[in-house]
Amino acid sequence: MAREIKFSLVYRDMWQSSGKYTARADQLAEIAPVIIDMGCFDRVETNGGAFEQVQLLYGQNPNKAVRAFTAPLHKAGIQTHMLDRGLNALRMYPCPVDVRKLMYKVKHAQGVDITRIFDGLNDANNIIPSIKYAIEGGMIPQASLCITYSPIHTVEYYTSLAEKLIEAGAQEIALKDMAGIGRPWSLGQIVAGIKKRHPETVIQYHGHSGPGFSVASMLEVAKAGCDVLDVAIEPLSWGKIHPDVITIRAMLKDAGFQVKDINMKAYMEARALTQKFIDDFLGYFIEPTNHHLTSLLVGCGLPGGMMGSMMADLKGVHPAVNMYLRNNGKPEVALDDLVVKLFEEVEYVWPKVGYPPLVTPFSQYVKNIALMNIMAEAQGKPRYSLLTDKSIWGMILGRSGVLPGPVAPEIKELAKQQGMEFFEGDVQALYPDDMDQYRKEMADNGWELGEDDEELFELAMHPTQYRDYKSGAAEARFTKDLEAAKEKAGAPIIVKRPVVEVPKNDAGKFQEEHPKAHAVQAEADGQVIWEYDVVDKSMAPRVGKAVKAGSIICHIQTPYALETVKAAYSGKIVAVYPAQGDKVAKNEIIAFVE
């Protein structure tokens, strides 16, 4: 009898690979019965990754959203799964043990069956504790191999990693091909190698379609013994997202595999509902280029979902790069040339910082190093001279886990010059338990801990976003953003909206007139918060205000955290551009110090 291949609908990742936001609780409850009626899915990805945080960002309760989505799927016998960042749990930075443990108890109680645990460095030491915590919490631990392509990320590297994870209790293995750059033949060899030693272990393949390998990859892993394939549905399939279930099913059926039939009437209904959600508000925040494939990703290896933010970064720094080039008597560059230059710089930087798999947050770190090097070159400065970000240095120094490869000597020397030391101990020990402080905060505010302590968990996992949710600040901010997006679009749109433009300013002209002034640039995409502490008005910028090198000038509210912007030089503020709450792009000039 032909071997069966099962399908998982990655409904969460479909949205998060497309744009900024995900569907609301009411929308998820509306589409769940239709997904069930399609009849072809044994699994559905319901939450995890940035899902909970994103819900908070637009003023929604993520716990209600998860329960609303999982309940009907459970009743129908469909397994649900979530994405879990191991040491980081559901956020972008490390998480204490007590919060990690609570996550599995909460998510199991909310109806999530499987947790897909990954570590951005493929450090087994960061994954293995989560395997144990997941089992204790009643969930099925699915340990992930973050797939990338480099001289050290070989078939043997991945099969050895899988062996460690299975020995530690992983009941399933996921091949997380987040950029879709895994080569089909090699992926098949990885699956075959795991199945040879552990034929009973369920293997699930997750591959984005950005560079174009994904269909061939799915056929290869299926032939090698893969059990479950992650797929999408229109209008959020293909591009840099995921292959569509219709195509993958047809391919596998032709190859002799047993696959379930698709109820096409239900498929079209799910397609129409997803489009309705896009038209409602989600489409205003979808990056149009994420619906395009590009072979440029094959070389640099960056995840396709990053292309939107990367292009925003490049558009933001493009004027500044050309300004510096002009000031140094060099020819200006076109935006397309800058894109190619960034990809080439990523390829150069990546091995220098130890080949971290290019997945969140480390893909952003590598891209940001490359972008800073391009800015440094334009200013006539050496590579890495603008590398001051603490999170990036944390990755390089081993404070996020063990890097797959060695750090280049020149970067080690730079760390030594700046008095930084490499860390080789237990990373988790750097982040002690802190649940008691959040219990106290809940009690002090009169907030309910929630069913199964789920509200306590949200505060402990996403403290800033949860407080903004409770105060109403998140909903007010989202409403303002949505109104601005609608006004810019001029009318309801379908899949895409115009790219948000960086507010125009005369920074280039000012720099030419004041060559001794030093630019202050935004550290991330987001909203400027000049007065972060409304009590301490000294945070507000004013022309003539004295600042010291290393002092905080302002903050940038990003989707994941508050980023600080510090003065690189001592002096006085001589110009300020964005107002409180204005949107800025990473590396956009926001002030000058002289």
CB-based contact 422:398 (threshold 8 Å): yes
Mean pLDDT over residues 94-123, rounded?
97
Cα 94 to chain centroid distance, Å, stands at 14
pLDDT tens-digit series, residues 505-540: 567 677 777 888 888 888 777 778 775 443 344 445
Question: Can you list the domains of the chain with their CATH numbers?
Answer: 294-426 (no CATH), 430-489 (no CATH), 507-593 (2.40.50.100)
User: Any alpha helices (H) in 22-96, and if so which ranges?
Assistant: 25-38, 51-57, 62-75
Residue 435 scores a pLDDT above 90? yes
Contact 73, 134 (CB under 8 A): no
Q: Which residue has the higher pLDDT, 494 or 579?
A: 579
- What span, in angstroms and rounded, lies between the C-alpha atoms of 278 and 272? 10
Percent of the chain with pLDDT over 70: 92
Local structure of 230: helix, strand or coil:
strand
Report the pLDDT value the prediction gives residue 221, as an integer from 0 to 100.
98
Report how far Cα 442 is from the mean position of its chain's Cα atoms: 28
pLDDT, residue 1, reads 65
- Residue carrying the six token digits 């969460």: 12
Q: Which one, of 320, 306, 334, lies nearest residue 377 by Cα?
A: 320
Distance CA 131, CA 117 (A): 8
The mean pLDDT of 313-320, rounded to a whole number, is: 77
pLDDT at 242 (0 to 100): 95
Nearest to 228 by CA among 7, 529, 487: 7
Tens of pLDDT, residue by residue over 478-512, are 999 899 888 877 644 333 323 333 334 567 677 77
Q: Do 340 and 363 meet the contact criterion of CB atoms below 8 Å apart?
A: no
Please state, in angstroms and rounded to a whole number, the distance separating the CA atoms of residues 586 and 565.
Answer: 11
How far is residue 189 from each of residues 156, 165, 222, measured CA to CA in Å? 9, 18, 11
Residues 6+ apart with CB under 8 A from 15: 21, 22, 23, 236, 282
Binned at pLDDT 50, 70 and 90, residue 412 comes out as: very high
Q: Which of 22, 126, 41 is nearest to 84 (CA)?
A: 126
> pLDDT tens digit string along 365-401?
898 899 889 888 888 889 998 888 888 999 999 999 9
Average pLDDT value for residue range 429-437: 94
Question: What per-residue confidence (pLDDT) applies to 534?
Answer: 39
* N-to-C CA span, the chain: 76
Cβ(384)–Cβ(369) under 8 Å?
yes
Cα–chain-centroid distance for residue 12? 13
Q: Lowest-confidence range among 172-181, 266-275, 454-463, 535-544? A: 535-544
- The mean per-residue pLDDT over the stretch 280-301 comes to 83
Three-class HEC string of 178-229: CCCCCCHHHHHHHHHHHHHHCCCCEEEEEECCCCCCHHHHHHHHHHHCCCEE
Of residues 561 and 13, which shows the higher confidence score? 13
pLDDT of 78 reads 98
Enumerate the β-bridge partners of residue 546. Answer: 572
Query: Which of 126-135, 352-361, 401-410 has the weakest average pLDDT?
Result: 352-361
pLDDT digits (tens, 9 = 90+) for 446-465: 999 999 999 999 999 999 99
> CA torsion angle for 459, 465, 467, 472 (degrees, to 10)?
-140
